[in-house]
Each structure stands twice: as C-alpha cells, then as structure tokens.
Amino acid sequence: MWASTQGGIARIRAGRVDTLNPEHSLSDIRSKTSLLDATGHLWTGSYSGLQRIDLNRVSDILDGASGSIAVETFGLEAGLLHLEVNGGSNGVMRDDQGLLYFSTRGGLAIVDPARVQRDAVPVPALVEEVWVDGERLSGMGPWTLDADARRVLLRFTALNPARAKELQLSARLEGFDPDWIAVGDRRELEYTNLSAGDYRFAVRVVDGTQATGYNEAAVHFTLKPHWYQTPWAILCYALCLALLVWSIIHWRLKSLQQQRTSLERQVLLRTAEVEAANASLAKLSREDALTGVSNRRRFDEALASEWKRGSRRDRELGLILIDVDHFKAYNDALGHQAGDACLRSIAQALAALHHREGDVLARYGGEEFAVLLPDTSEAEAQTAAERVRAAVVALNMPHPQSPYPVVSVSVGVATVRPSTQGDTADLVHQADRALYRAKADGRNRVVVAN
C-alpha cells in the first residue's frame, strides 16, 4: 500500500511503514491529492501543477538503492488551465479505462497516462553567465581569476522554455562541493571566499523521461593564489619552519649540554668538597687538636706498620719518648693557657727537626711526645734525641718552678730489630724505662735503653 502525505510518500509493506527521505527527491513531492495509474506511477497534485513519480524507483530507494528520484511536472504547457491542483482527497478519481480526474481551480483536468509523451531528445543545460565581484566574465572560459576575487556568481538554465519551470536541476562546484546540490527551480549559485585552486562548475538537468537522466554543462576557472600561497612561499615557510625547529632543537641540546656541564661541575665540586671534608676528618682523626702533630692513634698505626716493615726487611726501628719536666708545676704557676702555648711551641720545634719520610712525631700523652724513627740505629736515635732536648732548651721559655731557668725535657731512647715473634710493646716498654731513668737522674737529659 502507498500513501501520499504531508511528510512524503510512504510505503506500507509487511506491517512496516517506510517514508521516502526528501533528500532522495529533486523536488517537493508532498501532497494530499494523489492517484495511482495502471503503469505503476503515482500522480500528485500541488500548487505548481501535476507531478508523476515512478513508484518502482521509489521502492528501490526505500530498499537501499543509491541515487535520486526524478519527478516529472506537468503545468500549463501540458494543457492545465490552472497550476493549483490541490482539491483534497475528494477532488480526484480514476475510472475503469484508467483515466485520471483532478479538480483544479481552472476546472476539471483529465489525464490519460497511456497517451502522455515526452520528447526523446534530452533537455540540455546551459551555464549562461559568470560574474566575479560584480563584473561579468566574457566568453565561456576557462578563466584565471585574481587572488583577491571574493564572490563568484554562476547563472544557469535548462534549454526548454516550454518546460523551464518543471525541469529540475542540480549543480556542483568540483573542488568545493563534496556532492551534487539539488537546486530545484533556482537558476543561480554564489560562492564566496574560495581558496586558490582549479574549479569546474557543472549543472545538469534531471528529467525522468530521458533514458540517461542527465545532460550536463560545465565551465572551468582557476583562482590564483596570493604571493604567500605560492609554492615558493610555501617552500620558504617550510625552510623557515625547519630552521626554527632546528634552532629550537639546537638550543635545547645546547641548553641540556650546559646543564650537563654545570651538573658535572657541581658534582666535581661536591666531590672535591666531600673528599676535602673526608681528608679533613681523616686528618682530624689522626692529628692532635692542640699541637697539630700526629695523635696517639696515628702513632699506634705507624708503629704497627713500621714494625711489620722492619720485620720483612730486617731493619732497626728507633723510638724516642719525650716528657716535659715539671709541667704540672708550670701549669700551676702560669695557668693552663700558658701550658697549652708551651706544648704548641715544643711541638713546632720538634717538627722542625724531623724531615725524613717515615719519621712520625706524635703527642703521646698530656705532656709527652714520641718520635718514631724507621731504619735508625741506636747511635742515630741517640743523636736525634740530643737534638730534641737541645731544641726545647733553645726555646728559652722561662719556668718559675724548675731547677733550670727554662723549660726542659727528659728523653728516653730505645732501638730494636723487629721480628715476626716480637711485639711493639717491647719497644715502647724499653723507651719508657729509659725515660724513667732520665727523670730519676735529674731530668733535662737523654738516656738510652740498655
């Protein structure tokens, strides 16, 4: 069953209603007045005359076929006395011979579908005029338009004056329109702000009576690009962009390299600071804070190391122990600050005497110093001890509580030949006994262990 409604032509089949989409038709085919003839065509009345539609084509479209529907329009040139054919549902009839009756405002129109004829010759289309920014172009092209062109107006028609109003046209500007545009009864199209490029404007007549269905006319024109749209300009843009990208990448790499260099410099600086701090800590851990010479820990390490080396090489090892005479009385008489200054002066004097690699001067106790002498014989150790005693006396530091007018030291000397069976404690014990004898014999003297 078919129905012609205000919403379009509808097909009712198998309990389903499908309505023809207006986009599939090249004209408005909505109507309340319609008749079906014996050839499968639907006739509808409208305000612009009678229209004939091939329902087989409509059915194909509703089933998914591509394309559009050509609508044939019959007006005054076909014999109608008035174009308004819209008499309502009671104003139409089909008789037993297949004749169709339509009431119009000009009287009764009788249509014999079997006798309706159309010209077999296709109706040609024509592009009449092309206007650019208000100026008409001469000839039929192709034309080259300036880059500043803004408005392109194209006028066209179908070359059949008798059917000019009923023929349906479609047009397309290739290069701009993605598909054909159904222009209906319009006879001109305008395009604005087109991009530079080549264009082909085509217009075609859609007539359902023709075997081919289409008869096109076309014109060509080219819109020149602005200077900044030319290939050379685009190439310059590309080169500038490439240069900009390269500059950014180069700047970024240079920045990263600078950051890396700065980071490496900071790492080196921090490493040097850490090493210096470690060295300072190591020095502090082995240096006496008051006198600046080695402390007892450094002395013990050096003694153990030189003992092993002397055992391997079978060389003598000398030790000098030094004690400041009557130092407690010196502190009591002059104060602890004077005592500290006295110890620093003695340490500086002793340090000036020993320049051999391997010799170790250390603060052994409160007012005691020790000198470790690798590869040193007993006679050499005794000579070194005498220089120590003389150097302290030469400082000429007054001592109000000593039998001597100046600060003096007592010195004990011992030398041994280390062995793998021996012990460092033996060397220290011998030097300590010699120091005790020097103090017992009157101080300010050197005693060598027997």
- Based on C-alpha coordinates, what's the Rg of the chain? 62
**What does each C-alpha distance from 332 to 336, 338, 401, 406 come to in angstroms?**
8, 10, 9, 16
Residue found under tokens 């006496």: 288
Three-class SS state of 6: coil
Residue found under tokens 């590869």: 375
Q: How far apart are CA 200 and CA 183, in angstroms?
A: 17
Q: Checking phi first, is residue 445 left (phi over 0); if not, alpha (psi -120 to 50) or beta?
A: beta
Candidate list 72, 287, 367, 368, residue with the active-site label: 367
Measured in Å, how far apart are the chain's first and last C-alpha atoms? 143
Query: Hey, what amino acid is at 408?
Result: S
**What does each C-alpha distance from 134 to 143, 153, 196, 198 come to in angstroms?**
16, 8, 19, 21
Known active-site residue 367: yes
Of 54, 53, 43, nearest to 80 by C-alpha is 43
Q: Where are the beta strands (DSSP E) in 47-121?
A: 49-54, 72-74, 92-94, 100-104, 107-111
Q: Which two tokens stand for residue 235?
A: 């190439």
- Would you say the C-alpha torsion 160, 164, 167, 168 has a positive or negative sign? positive
Q: How far apart are CA 439 and CA 389, in angstroms?
A: 13
The catalytic site residues sit at: 367
